[in-house]
Structure 1
Amino acid sequence: MVAQNHSVEVRVDAELGTVLLNRPERRNALSRSMIYELREALFDLHQERRVRAVILTGAGEAFCAGRDLRELATATEDPQADQARWGEEVDELRELYLEMLRFPKPLVACVNGPALASGAGLVLACDIALAVESAVVGLPEARFGLVSGLVGPLLAFRIGAGAAARLMLTGEPCPAVEAMRLGIVHEVAADGQAARERSEQIGRQCALGSPEAVSLSKRLLIETIGEPMMSQLTGGAIAAAMARTTESAQEGLDAFLAGRPPEWK
């Protein structure tokens, strides 16, 4: 079975579901409509009883470049309306991450290329992650005057606050091998084909367990050691939305669109 929306493709092959981020011309950058389609895909795969595990990957050379900064930079002449929209956009992304964390079936990220900003958040919201050797994971938001308010709590939950601080504050991309050492990804494969095959193998290994037991195991992790992180996502959403209203964010986005370095005051 194959179901395709504008930018998200869903495939079902026996017990495995695959969600493909299908916007390669924009390096699979997340638009608002794409976030909605991802949430819809998760709902559909939740309802599909034969699916026992889900693989998330990207089309083209990138896994996900983060939020679509061209869409994010769009503003009107009504500052209050813009602020309300920015708050809605952050909340929509927060809801996507929460739905992934609470998804009752194993989510396996097959990181076929760069996973940046909210794209890194997609990896961190999955249960298991594999990456190709050429992949990088990074949180460059500060370089655009933004704050990784949603991805930061996910990163700290997976690898600890100290390692998360380095990635958040420097904005430096983390190569796949280093990401594996830190615990962001669990395995590194030589190329995309090997990564896809291994992610499918892991998905099928998860499918060998009782659906109830696997679901309860995920729920145990999220509702015990993950409970503080779930609350922190709310605070992170507020910080991310507030940062978007600053002059620094406007300068960072303007510089990105103009292809120049930002000039911070």
Structure 2
Amino acid sequence: MDGGSALLLRTDTSEGVTTLTLNRPEARNALSFAMLGALEEALAHVAADPRVRVVILAAEGPVFSAGHDLREITAHRDDADGGRAFFDATMKRCARVMQAIVALPQPVIARVQGVATAAGCQLVATADLAVASDQARFCTPGVDIGLFCSTPAVALSRAVPAKSALEMLLTGEMIGAEHAQRIGLVNRVVSPEALEAAALALASHIAARSAHTVRIGKAAFHRQRGLPLAEAYEHAAAVMTENLLAEDAIEGIGAFLGKRTPVWRNS
């Protein structure tokens, strides 16, 4: 990662857990074109690093992310094409980042300390799991400024029930952390003081499992969701058959039956 990207996004790794921290607090951690590029680059590095078992996606300052950088977008309206090429490149880069999170071999946990709006809310919805402060709030307010949150809707509609997603998208209203937990946007809500420890505890719990098993499980989960029921079972059955033949499944089942702690090998 180059120096500019490092300023936008901090990367810290300890005991198999990598924390990627959005680092533009002065801009409410807006997802500028450069920030999205830094995320895309960091995710590619993480995907190729077998030492990383879980990723925590965090943010510096009181705001998790305010979404796309509207000042940057407005500045490009002076381009010869009115900004079309830049807008297209930004949305495509954002889509690649979101898809990279889903495709990442390691589980991704969003650690949300404050407001997550528009594409920032999309980032939370895209993460595999989310732990939020009870002070966190979420919304997709594009409709308020004449810009419907169509791309955030992709992630949101896959994370929460359709009517809950549409209510957020059509009203632009802010919802609190407990409401977000009720509709399934976040998994756990804790006090601000406990947030970092809670996210790390969840990450560490997952990191202690067989990395091979977690990776194939995450991939299979996301794959089957897009398939018709019969095809989903066919795919899941094939994955489980291969999983049963893996060294860690042999070790894990043997350890369970022998009432001992497993020693993972495919990690």
Shorter-normalised TM range? 0.7 to 0.9
Matches within 5 A, 1:1-265: 5-74=6-75, 75-79=77-81, 82-191=83-192, 193-226=193-226
Structure 2 vs 1, CA of residues 143 and 199 (structure 1 numbering), >3 Å: closer, same or farther? same
Alpha-carbon shift at residue 226 of structure 1 (Å): 4.0
1:113 & 1:98 partners in 2: Cα distance?
24
2:79 & 2:45 partners in 1: Cα distance?
38
2:117 & 2:22 partners in 1: Cα distance?
14
Q: Which runs of 5 or more structure 1 residues have no equivalent in the other structure?
A: 229-265
Structure 2 vs 1, CA of residues 207 and 165 (structure 1 numbering), >3 Å: closer, same or farther? same
1:150 & 1:103 partners in 2: Cα distance?
20
Larger radius of gyration, structure 1 or 2? 2
Q: Which runs of 5 or more structure 2 residues have no equivalent in the other structure?
A: 229-267
Q: For 2:150, what is the secondary structure of its paired residue?
A: coil
2:213 & 2:88 partners in 1: Cα distance?
37
Alpha-carbon shift at residue 106 of structure 1 (Å): 0.8
Which whole-Å deviations, capped at 9, do the CAs of 1:50-94 have from their partners, x for residues lacking one?
A: 2110101110101111111100112125226x2122111111100
Percent identity between matched residues is 30
Alpha-carbon shift at residue 217 of structure 1 (Å): 1.3
C-alpha contact 2:161 2:183 (8 A) present in aligned 1? no
TM-score by length of structure 1 reads 0.81
| Letter in structure 1 aligned against 2:115 | P
1:61 & 1:182 partners in 2: Cα distance?
23
Which whole-Å deviations, capped at 9, do the CAs of 1:91-118 have from their partners, x for residues lacking one?
A: 1100000000111101011101001000
| Letter in structure 2 aligned against 1:207 | A
2:118 & 2:209 partners in 1: Cα distance?
33
Match of 2:244 in 1: none
| Letter in structure 2 aligned against 1:220 | A
Q: Higher relative CO (CA 8 A, sep ≥ 6), structure 1 or 2?
A: 1
Alpha-carbon shift at residue 139 of structure 1 (Å): 0.1
Aligned length: 224
Alpha-carbon shift at residue 23 of structure 1 (Å): 0.6
| Letter in structure 2 aligned against 1:222 | H
2:64 & 2:175 partners in 1: Cα distance?
14
Q: For 1:18, what is the secondary structure of its paired residue?
A: strand
Q: For 2:105, what is the secondary structure of its paired residue?
A: coil
Q: Once structures 1 and 2 are overlaid, which stretch shifts more, 104-113 or 217-226? A: 217-226
1:94 & 1:148 partners in 2: Cα distance?
13
Alpha-carbon shift at residue 47 of structure 1 (Å): 2.3
